[in-house]
Structure 1
């Protein structure tokens, strides 16, 4: 007995229930059913407190609902707490469903249209998912930064630390960030990622989740959202450039050079801005407000991470230039070998004469007259 998949990887075969293939093909449907259980539980009075623990945001420190006396009410502000782990779990399930929808209705159709190889298909799926995620992170986080006024008053990043309550949108943004990187671990199994790629992707997800958890737990949410938005900008451009290379091939045309220049420029600017923002916040802004050990540790991690990314970027750029030079050097050699062959075929015997051009024309005229006389 088997069930055909509705969302996710489709197959003509119907695998047995509870088999690995069945779970992989129907994982989005299974997870969406679990999500529906939580949503239905929120509507039932007896299970509503348990369901709201996973769906709603908790640990609010202020806020008043609208009333007749105060129609606008008062904005709800939140802080970090242990109940946020339940919300991270629930929204990680939502991320799995959204991942499957994006894979099924967009990325799979693109891969079928371009007939990509297995390696390019894996890169397309990875970059396609990350482009969407970083784009959402960029706009959502940028909107939160604008609403909180961090750009026009940068001192808000460290003023009144550690009393930094979050708005609803900002806290939900942090919850979704943690949930996304958490959901990437089971996706390695659901998307049939090769085992040799697991280690690199798990390290990437673990590092991102650790950064989000540390910034959220140590109440660095304000400077953290700025750093994550900057990083997402660079990652969005980088994965867009990677998608261009995957779909169009490695063409050395104007578009490829332009996107490469934009990618490099944005990457360097983001790294410098992150370092400047980190030094301003952790070294100067939080001086006296946060423990010295915590400030030094946070700044050290940030600087080390930026240097590591810069080193990898420079190494990759040098490697690509060396490969392009080798290709450029190999092309002229082929042309030189082909030229003599073409000349031998095209060349025809030509009679050469030491006489001037006028005398040569005179000889031609005499020969033509002699031929005409003989013909008569």
Structure 2
């Protein structure tokens, strides 16, 4: 964590210095922004980093409510919360995951996967709770028609915009974090880019309501998967949660595809205003709808293909192990060695000669 003592000192601004002190550097930058709030000269600039911008007042029957829309200044806010995410990432790693992994005595490969799943469990759990709260309070679950009615959804409530900014900040922070890892970088890069494209697409195309529901379904499945992997690292015989995740995974893909087709393919297609107008935030055209549906369907098909491929590989490994166990022959018993004490054989405790007569004992001659 920030300002903790280190056993080694590295040259200032060297590669090793940045790797071992990136959380402390982010903490110092965040602290500078917070100090800027204390002075009137820098307060306006500091608020650009902390608070969402582009707020407008929308009159209602009782009073006025404040809503937000997106713009270039959102990049400044996202940058600030990237540093916040880096600090939280370091806190979870040092004070929770490192202490647990020391007790488990994991190998190098399992240790890397344990850290990845531990970070994602915390993130997915927080995102599921936060997303569910937003969806319930805004009434998107009780009124499914609100996902496409009154499109474009240019004016966003504070909690919806802040949720999207934090989501973008988290997945953007994961890109430089790949620099500190050495294994499975292509796989992680694929998932990070996939999340960034979907979240940024829903935010910029004013499909924020539909994006919240889809993220809630996706994050719930991912939370179950990484929880199952953590339990597996703690005890390799504990694989029941993987079976539950496998069942939920397929159902989630079906729900996401159904909801996307219902909202985009049918709901937005029946809206009267279907003119392409980026200034007003209207992207409800046939070409845009087809591109969005194609992206969602291609992503779900790719995830399902990877899931089936991994399941077949695990089953193949399992059956190979079982067949290998069956092919191992039982160790044959070696026959006991016969000790020939006298000529002939034994019968009822009496030594018999080969012709059936008892051998005569030799008499010793007296001296």
Shift of 1:317: 0.5
- Aligned counterpart for 2:330 among listed residues 317, 326, 337: 337
1:210 partnered with 2:197: yes
More helix by share: 1
- Aligned counterpart for 1:39 among listed residues 34, 42, 48: 34
1:128 partnered with 2:110: no
2:316 maps to: 322
1:55 maps to: 50
CA distance in 2 between counterparts of 1:53 and 1:35 reads 13
2:249 maps to: 267
CA distance in 2 between counterparts of 1:174 and 1:98 reads 18
Q: How many residues align?
A: 326
1:285 partnered with 2:278: no
CA distance in 1 between counterparts of 2:167 and 2:335 reads 68
1:244 partnered with 2:234: no
2:94 maps to: 104
CA distance in 2 between counterparts of 1:294 and 1:286 reads 11
2:11 alignment partner, SS class = coil
**Is the Cα contact below 8 Å between 1:124 and 1:243 reproduced in 2?**
yes
- Aligned counterpart for 2:209 among listed residues 201, 222, 238: 222
1:14 alignment partner, SS class = coil
Equivalence map 1:344-363=2 (5 Å): none
Equivalence map 1:296-307=2 (5 Å): 296-307=290-301
Shift of 1:74: 3.9
Equivalence map 1:3-22=2 (5 Å): 6=3, 12-22=7-17
1:162 alignment partner, SS class = coil
1:201 partnered with 2:188: yes
**Is the Cα contact below 8 Å between 1:150 and 1:156 reproduced in 2?**
yes
Shift of 1:322: 0.7
1:85 alignment partner, SS class = helix
TM-score, normalized by length of structure 1? Answer: 0.81
TM-score, normalized by length of structure 2? Answer: 0.83
> Tell me, which stretches of 5 or more residues in structure 1 are unaligned?
65-69, 346-350, 354-376
CA distance in 1 between counterparts of 2:93 and 2:347 reads 72
CA distance in 1 between counterparts of 2:72 and 2:57 reads 18
Q: 1:119 to 1:6 in 2, by over 3 A?
A: farther
**Is the Cα contact below 8 Å between 2:121 and 2:227 reproduced in 1?**
yes
2:184 alignment partner, SS class = helix
Q: 1:174 to 1:91 in 2, by over 3 A?
A: same
**Is the Cα contact below 8 Å between 2:85 and 2:170 reproduced in 1?**
yes
1:362 maps to: none
Q: 1:145 to 1:344 in 2, by over 3 A?
A: farther
1:165 maps to: 155
- Aligned counterpart for 2:141 among listed residues 129, 147, 151: 151
Segment of structure 1 superposing worse, 15-24 or 222-231: 15-24
> Tell me, which stretches of 5 or more residues in structure 2 are unaligned?
274-283, 337-345, 349-367
